[in-house]
Structure 1
């Protein structure tokens, strides 16, 4: 039957017929079901979306303006994990033990975005903290997990995400590699712009008070001293002695850049600001995305750089 049809499709008609077949094939590819991917938190989720594009459907366990350190897994989250084809974790102790356990028990392939990154020890960020709430054990371990505050390290982070997507969806390899290349170029530009912005601030003024130790990697990259009453976990409670020491340091060194965070209760920072006579400079996005312009990793980072440098220059 097909041969009979081809006998009557000649010349211009044959050309149109071939184009129709190609269009049909492309349309079929466009409507192929996207790869279901679960990420542990919103920043990692955005990286997966930037690289995965239309080939992935990403859900994050911890959403925008939510705190990974305080996250408690739900039965709905376990269902998300089990229905995924790939789970992406940050690693370095950011995810609580129940998340790690649920992922391993699900048998769904998973990858850690921080693989191969030379992490800072938690002590280098100032504190080491474990917490255990009603069976929810969250050991932040030896290393500081907040590598996303350094856009240079995010190049490796993004590469790990791309590798995991290619492993889960080999047919999309060229697509993922192309998007990875574009994204890594954006990360390099982000670093270049951030470096120029911070270099325009005298080194003596690059001192910032934040709620918890989330910005140590940024501090190391751009020579900024971040001071925090809480350690690498936003749930760590500082002692009265620690708070008093910070208040004395702010007064002694004339620190003007004081920030709350989008994931944290502001009362501690508000109290310190009041006792030092310093106005709160604004809000930083630390462990989660937010609304525009901080609804993507790059948008969030550019926002943070802008408000930080504005406050430092005062």
Structure 2
């Protein structure tokens, strides 16, 4: 029969082991959280791709507004609320691009960091008489800052810093990926500038569905005409369309383009009324579906530039 002292010793050992196990639970959970990819929710597909390019295996990123979808008119679903609630980091554009974001964050109860990629960039506002066929609210900034590759470098740097803050143990790899991706951005930027320089300045005039390419216009010296404003949540008026048709005729803009997020009928009407030719598809606010022409940000930018160049070179 075991002695009382032996029984007490065994019980004491079990008690100490139980305390140790309880003490290790928070450490193990923390270690597991650090070991898994960072859960990132991006507001739309272009930002999700930038996060994926910089984060690589360190992130698990999803986009609330997916390929070929319009973030201007997005309506969050219950699944989006759940996804937001489970995120470690939320990445958004800012500049009032995601008008639904504040409500979504509040509904989800998300308390984590929200990275606004456009913070720190100089804002671009509409300038009357410079290719705009309609009135803008001149106190509102153009949110489509990613349409300038120089601004994409700023986005990448902010994403890199946010990911490093969240996963400091992977800082070296994250910085290396960001540097390599920025080098690709710079190479494409130089190529596009050189190609547009071959087109006479007075022939760089095109028509698009909505005014999403102002940053592209300023960066690469192309004039864009459109009937619809920065936001697509309302249809252009008949007067806006008629005014644009007159402007296309007067300025002899012969290169027309539809967008992946827009109804093509307005551009087709303008083509019919003016005799201009629809030159192809542009990707403004969203990537294309996986495995297609513009399923990453750099592919999108390259596709848009080459489509515009081809249309301008065909113009008389």
TM-score (norm 1): 0.83
Is the 1:50–1:179 Cα contact (8 Å) retained in structure 2?
yes
- 1:277 is aligned to 275
RMSD over aligned Cα, in angstroms? 2.0
- 2:297 is aligned to 297
Cα deviation digits, residues 255-298 of structure 1 (max 9, x gap) = 11100000011111111111111221111000000032200000
- 1:106 is aligned to 110
- 2:234 is aligned to 236
- 1:197 is aligned to 195
- 2:136 is aligned to 128
Cα deviation digits, residues 95-154 of structure 1 (max 9, x gap) = 11x32233254102111011111110256784436xxxxxxxxxx972111001000111
Q: 2:177 aligns with which of 168, 176, 179?
A: 179
- 2:19 is aligned to none
Whole-angstrom CA distance in 2 between matches of 1:128 and 1:250? 19
Whole-angstrom CA distance in 2 between matches of 1:260 and 1:123? 23
Asked if 1:159 corresponds to 2:161, the answer is: no
Q: Please report how far the alpha carbon of residue 45 of structure 1 lies from its aligned counterpart in structure 2 after TM superposition.
A: 0.4
Unaligned runs of 5+ in 1: 1-27, 130-139
Asked if 1:206 corresponds to 2:204, the answer is: yes
- 1:82 is aligned to 85
Q: 2:57 aligns with which of 54, 59, 66?
A: 54
Secondary structure of the corresponding residue to residue 280 of structure 1: strand
- 1:312 is aligned to 312
Q: Which moved more, 1:229-238 or 1:297-306?
A: 229-238
- 2:250 is aligned to 252
Whole-angstrom CA distance in 2 between matches of 1:187 and 1:153? 10
Is the 1:122–1:232 Cα contact (8 Å) retained in structure 2?
no
Whole-angstrom CA distance in 2 between matches of 1:122 and 1:166? 36
Secondary structure of the corresponding residue to residue 273 of structure 1: helix
Whole-angstrom CA distance in 2 between matches of 1:65 and 1:83? 25
Whole-angstrom CA distance in 2 between matches of 1:251 and 1:62? 36
- In 2 relative to 1, CA 122–164 (structure 1 residues): closer, same or farther, beyond 3 Å? farther
- 2:146 is aligned to 148
Asked if 1:119 corresponds to 2:114, the answer is: no
- 1:287 is aligned to 285
Asked if 1:72 corresponds to 2:72, the answer is: no
Secondary structure of the corresponding residue to residue 37 of structure 1: strand
TM-score (norm 2): 0.83
Whole-angstrom CA distance in 2 between matches of 1:229 and 1:118? 25
Whole-angstrom CA distance in 1 between matches of 2:239 and 2:90? 41
Q: Greater Rg, structure 1 or structure 2?
A: 2
Whole-angstrom CA distance in 2 between matches of 1:210 and 1:235? 16
Is the 1:93–1:141 Cα contact (8 Å) retained in structure 2?
no
Whole-angstrom CA distance in 2 between matches of 1:128 and 1:203? 25
- 1:224 is aligned to 222
The number of residue pairs the alignment matches comes to 275
Q: Which moved more, 1:100-109 or 1:298-307?
A: 100-109
Q: Which runs of at least 4 in structure 1 moved beyond 3 Å after TM superposition?
A: 122-129
Cα deviation digits, residues 65-123 of structure 1 (max 9, x gap) = 00000101111101111111000010000111x32233254102111011111110256
